[in-house]
Amino acid sequence: MSAKRAFTLIELLVVIAIIAILAALLLPAISSAKAKALQTHCISNQRQVGLTLQMFLDDHNDQLPPGGTNSLFLTELPIYAEGGEFDRHLGYHLSPYVPLPRAETLAGKTNLIQIMLCPAYLRSLPGSTDAHYDPSTDNYTHAYCFTLSRYVLIPPWGLPFGWAAAGNPSMKLSAIAAVRPLSEAWAMADLDWGVPNSATSLGLDRTPFVAKKPVHGATRTALYFDQHVGKIKNQDWVKW
């Protein structure tokens, strides 16, 4: 019987070259598929936030959190706890509807609200931020990945979630609907340096932890007051 013929060096190099070409063609497609999967996950999270927000509205006479006594921060965290200024974050008010343990039962510890953590932001870390942020080091205490709506375009400011410094309480959903269709007024959206007019306006304690570029590429994902989640092209971004 004749011995089996071995591959020549040239044949091996040709096979390796073909594999390399195929890998180069497939990698962009795989990367794009991963990005779409992350945005789909983000959209699902924001839909769940919308459902919990609606439950809050049903229990509070149509008024957005926090009500008439304070205002929410525009840069949001995916955690909540009792004390400090956590009651100025959306998650603090929505956590009972997720449902998660009430803040007063946490004994001073923070608790993560998974649906308020953008998976694309998380995957982009640490290189996407000035601080090279690793949220595992501080239990997501600086994971600023979402922003709340700042304008509804009514005098004097039209801040849906209030502005305590100006004595403006949070708005009722019906008041927003009287000015703009709820399908056109977003409540919460992806946060990055391109959202405000200047990244430094986010605050020195926040800017280093915010993504420098949109984490979903050409679009930002936004939850609207009518509960639908849409994609806003970056070049079409409206007033923050």
pLDDT at position 232 is: 86
| Res 6: pLDDT | 65
Each residue's pLDDT, cut to its tens digit, for the chain (240 residues) gives 555 666 677 778 888 888 888 777 766 666 666 778 888 999 999 999 999 999 999 999 999 999 877 899 989 999 999 988 999 999 999 999 999 999 999 988 999 999 999 999 999 999 999 999 999 999 999 999 999 988 776 666 678 999 887 788 899 999 999 988 999 999 999 999 988 877 888 888 999 999 999 999 889 999 999 999 999 887 766 555
Instruction: Judge whether 62 and 172 are in contact, CB under 8 Å.
Output: yes
**pLDDT tens string 158-176:** 789 998 877 888 999 999 9
Q: Give the domain ranges of the chain.
A: 13-236
Q: Which is nearest to 208 in space by CA: 136, 95, 101, 129?
A: 129
Q: How far apart are CA 74 and CA 90, in angstroms?
A: 9
Instruction: State the distance between the two ends of the chain, measured CA to CA, in whole angstroms.
Output: 79
Q: Give pTM, 2 decimals.
A: 0.84
**Distance (Å, whole) CA 40 – CA 203:** 30
What pLDDT, on the 0 to 100 scale, is given for residue 11? Answer: 74
Give pLDDT, residue 240.
57
CA pair distance 39, 140, nearest whole angstrom: 20
Q: Are 232 and 222 in contact (CB under 8 A)?
A: yes
What DSSP string runs through 28-54? HHHHHHHHHHHHHHHHHHHHHHHHHHH
The pLDDT value recorded for residue 171 is 92
CA separation for the pair 97, 127 (Å, rounded):
34
Residue with tokens 């870390």: 125
User: For residues 154 and 95, what is the distance between their CA atoms, to the nearest angstrom?
Assistant: 30
The whole-number pLDDT of residue 110 equals: 95
